[in-house]
Chain A
């Protein structure tokens, strides 16, 4: 809240009974605030506190799931520092996040705006864009491998028709991550739904007023739509970062856990998973998890801090 210059005289002039009422009112708000949040506070304590603290503890041990292991202090963290595959997985994940997150926001917002037009048949279009998110990962993985097959896949077939020789996509070290980014953009249906809900909350009145002032589509977008969408853009940005850094199921299914070609698709959580469930190094995996936490937290903090500049909440 903006700070008000303290004006002693004004407080002194407020009659005592009103002041007491204010304090009482504040206390009431505190009470309700905590009451309403109570289910989640309990949920945090029961379902999150124990697993989270356990995993921090595990990161300092040689816990293997089957054995409690021994306490080894920061050894896991030190070993990670020297683990080349760890750094490769960091690189792969960052690469993916840097390209995917901005693209998904740009395409997501653009798509949502188009789908928000009041035109007949829009319901069908919206359903179409949402469909890919419903296809099970196993099916998606196989489908894409088939589509991107350099020899007889549809994509290279189409490129061939316009005279371009397509790369080996999932078989190429350079093109495997871009292929994955492409495949992941398929799934922006969920984010688009959120943008649509956000667009739905923008009152028609504003647009009507702008029409009266003679604003065109572009001006309306820049001055009304985008600013009022910022709360959801903010949400999708934060969740996008979290999701991108935790990318697991699709590349794991695609490469059957191997991260081929040449570990170019070995993502952070994939390596974490292997350590925890395949190599009996859950302690090591826990250390990886908490390092990831710090990285994501740092990025999110930056987003939060800058959010005061660009996020506009209607309510305020």
Chain B
């Protein structure tokens, strides 16, 4: 009796907190969408008008004509899908190796892995560019895709943490059954790390989708440009076309929102080990 009322009270409290917090978190997004539907002179009025009067849908049409929207979209999709694929294929198996397998040099290599993230990209950008130039890959989207297939330290670290949380007993039991290392990884460990792997996929999707400096440096023909480069074209010396820019920004965020909405169910799915012992 008392227990359930307590539960209800704490639930409602949490709801109230969530609703209030949601309001704050929604503001940037609402502003972006609202601005995307306004004519330029109404963007910065005070007091702020969250609902545009009138609603200017034409911003979206104009934006798609201002820049080669669909070409940029196609390029962005291709680059993003491949680099995400690369990350999701390479990082889990490397992370598993760091987490569960013992081999000489493992710990030092792991420290190096984290260490390379501590150098700001601004100084490694140029030598890396020169390297790609020697490989003849400047002017193509490959520098934006290939490295993902070799592993990305951020995700390797993340997945390693997850794999370490999986019981060693699972591995030992499988070994007794005569399973090989790869099979243990592929059939037992990897499925259990699904929430984390999906998170990696989502993050890499976002990172690649919104990457600016990579496409800036490596794409030399506007036919290859991505949406993030296109966004810059709305900024000119005489002031930015905020309405159009926010329209493109909104369109850019929609796919990621959809992706997130569908993936998030798997994040919270609980797992039970009850069958394994």
B199 (CB) vs chain A CBs: closest residue: A197
Count: A-B pairs, CB below 8 Å: 275
B266 (CB) vs chain A CBs: closest residue: A200
**Nearest 9 pairs of A and B residues by beta carbon:** A43-B150, A33-B103, A40-B151, A33-B101, A51-B124, A36-B97, A54-B127, A152-B46, A32-B181
A246–B90 CB distance below 8 A: no
Residues of A near B29 (CB, < 8 A) are: 131-132, 134-135
Does any Cβ of A come within 8 Å of B26's Cβ?
Answer: yes
Does any Cβ of A come within 8 Å of B102's Cβ?
Answer: yes
A185-198 vs B, Cβ < 8 Å mask (1 yes, 0 no): 01001100110111
Which parts of A256-309 form the interface with B (CB within 8 Å)?
269, 272-273, 276-277, 282, 285-286, 289-290, 292-293, 296-297, 300
Does any Cβ of B come within 8 Å of A163's Cβ?
Answer: no
Residues of A near B14 (CB, < 8 A) are: 114, 117
Does any Cβ of B come within 8 Å of A202's Cβ?
Answer: yes
Contact of A30 among B18, B104, B122 (CB under 8 A): B104
Contact of B118 among A43, A115, A242 (CB under 8 A): A242
Which parts of A111-128 form the interface with B (CB within 8 Å)?
111, 114-119, 122-123, 125-128
B167–A315 CB distance below 8 A: yes
The distance from the CB of A248 to the nearest CB of chain B, in whole angstroms, is: 8
Does any Cβ of B come within 8 Å of A103's Cβ?
Answer: no
A135 (CB) vs chain B CBs: closest residue: B28
Q: What is the interface of chain A mostly: helix, strand, loop, or mixed? A: helix
Contact of B120 among A58, A272, A277 (CB under 8 A): A272
B158 (CB) vs chain A CBs: closest residue: A235
Residues of A near B109 (CB, < 8 A) are: 37, 41, 44
Does any Cβ of A come within 8 Å of B147's Cβ?
Answer: yes
The distance from the CB of A150 to the nearest CB of chain B, in whole angstroms, is: 12
Question: How many angstroms from the CA of A31 to the CA of B167 in the assembled complex?
Answer: 22
B17–A204 CB distance below 8 A: no
Question: How many angstroms from the CA of A300 to the CA of B127 in the assembled complex?
Answer: 26
Residues of A near B116 (CB, < 8 A) are: 44, 48, 52
Question: How many angstroms from the CA of A303 to the CA of B23 in the assembled complex?
Answer: 35
Question: How many angstroms from the CA of A115 to the CA of B29 in the assembled complex?
Answer: 19
Q: How extensive is the interface on chain A, given as a class?
A: 35 or more
Which parts of A78-131 form the interface with B (CB within 8 Å)?
111, 114-119, 122-123, 125-131
Known contacts A128-B25, A217-B10, A235-B161; A134 and B256 CB within 8 A of each other:
yes
Which parts of A149-200 form the interface with B (CB within 8 Å)?
152, 154, 157, 186, 189-190, 193-194, 196-200
Interface residues of A (CB under 8 A from B): 26, 28-34, 36-37, 39-44, 46-48, 50-52, 54-55, 58, 65, 111, 114-119, 122-123, 125-136, 138-140, 142-143, 146-147, 152, 154, 157, 186, 189-190, 193-194, 196-205, 217, 228, 231-232, 234-235, 238-239, 242, 246, 248, 269, 272-273, 276-277, 282, 285-286, 289-290, 292-293, 296-297, 300, 313-316
A40–B106 CB distance below 8 A: no
B157–A33 CB distance below 8 A: no
Known contacts A28-B181, A36-B94, A194-B199; A201 and B32 CB within 8 A of each other:
no
